[in-house]
Amino acid sequence: IGLSTYDATYLLLARTMGVPLVTFDEQLAAAWRRLSSFRTS
């Protein structure tokens, strides 16, 4: 994804907790959109 460990931790935390990610960081927001487009069964 091309993110720092710090940013990837925010993505993981938000996804695990089921809460939205709020950021002004465009790269982090784009990664969140890509991650959010994946669905698991």
Q: What is the rounded CA–CA span in Å between residue 33 and residue 6?
A: 18
Q: What is the rounded CA–CA span in Å between residue 18 and residue 12?
A: 10
DSSP for 1-41, please give it: ----HHHHHHHHHHHHHT-----S-HHHHHHHHHHHT----
Q: How many folded domains does the chain comprise? A: 1
Query: Is the residue at 25 inside a domain?
Result: yes
Residue 13 lies in domain: 5-36
Query: Is the residue at 23 inside a domain?
Result: yes
Question: 23-40 pLDDT, tens per residue?
Answer: 999 999 998 888 877 665
Question: 8-25 pLDDT, tens per residue?
Answer: 999 999 989 999 899 999
Query: Is the residue at 41 inside a domain?
Result: no
Query: Is the residue at 10 inside a domain?
Result: yes
pLDDT the model gives residue 36: 76
Quick check: 8 and 1 in contact, CB under 8 A?
Answer: yes
